[in-house]
Amino acid sequence: MATLISAQHVFMFLWIIGSVAAEAFEAKPGEDVTLPCNSHTDAAVTKLVWSRPELKGQYVVFFRNNMADENNQDQRYRGRVELKDPEMKNGDASVVLKNVTVNDTGTYQCRVTIPTMPKELLRSVLLIVSKGPTKEEFEEKHRRKVGLGVGLGVGCLVVVVVGFALGRFVFLKSQSGPL
């Protein structure tokens, strides 16, 4: 007996398969990172959950019926996470994680519920925050390198000018003969 599969079921299957594979993003401490999640439909998002498996019942973001639920939000993420598009137009449930630290490294999972799909859609994102200089430390180091380069340039210019002057003096002295 043959079974008919609707286009909606095929779409949902392909979306879930494509979404479960984790996408990796790299960041430096202090940067803001967008964690992407999109339901690929124009339907309104009725529930959005961003989580990390190790948080055990706490969430990065929990959003239902157009309201964020901060009671279930892990304390480490309060004030640091916001929706990329607060209206979640076109199913965009991406979030911006601000001022990341090495402790933010890990797998983030996005679950989206929309009225036309009875099941939640899932997307995994691997965030790697590498130990490295913060943006401010990098800029300070760069300023020092520029300052060192300018100092060396001026020093070389002084040596060239003094060398030229001494060479000219010696040359003129040799041309005039003994006194």
The predicted-structure confidence for 51-98, as pLDDT tens digits, reads as follows: 998 888 889 999 887 788 888 889 999 999 999 988 888 778 899 999
Strands 117-129 and 23-27: parallel
User: Residue 171: inside a domain, yes or no?
Assistant: yes
Taking the C-alpha atoms of residue 90 and residue 112, their distance in angstroms, rounded to an integer, is 12
Q: Where does residue 107 rank: exposed (0-12), middle (13-18), buried (19+ CB within 10 A)?
A: middle
Split at pLDDT 50, 70, 90, the class of 157 is low
In this prediction, residue 35 carries a pLDDT of 95
Give the count of domains, the chain: 2
| 168 and 150 inside one domain | yes
Tell me if 42 sits within 8 A of 88, measured CB to CB: no
User: Residue 1: inside a domain, yes or no?
Assistant: no
Full domain range(s) for residue 35: 7-129
In this prediction, residue 117 carries a pLDDT of 78
Highest mean pLDDT among 82-86, 89-93, 153-157, 167-171: 82-86
| 108 and 157 inside one domain | no
In this prediction, residue 33 carries a pLDDT of 96
Which of 95, 111, 129 corresponds to the end of one domain? 129
| 100 and 166 inside one domain | no
Higher pLDDT: 121 or 130? It is 130
| 100 and 12 inside one domain | yes
Mean pLDDT over each residue of the chain, to the nearest integer: 76
User: Residue 111: inside a domain, yes or no?
Assistant: yes
Highest mean pLDDT among 27-36, 84-93, 119-128, 157-166: 27-36
Question: Range with the lowest mean pLDDT among 24-38, 78-92, 111-125?
Answer: 111-125
| 116 and 141 inside one domain | no
| 121 and 45 inside one domain | yes
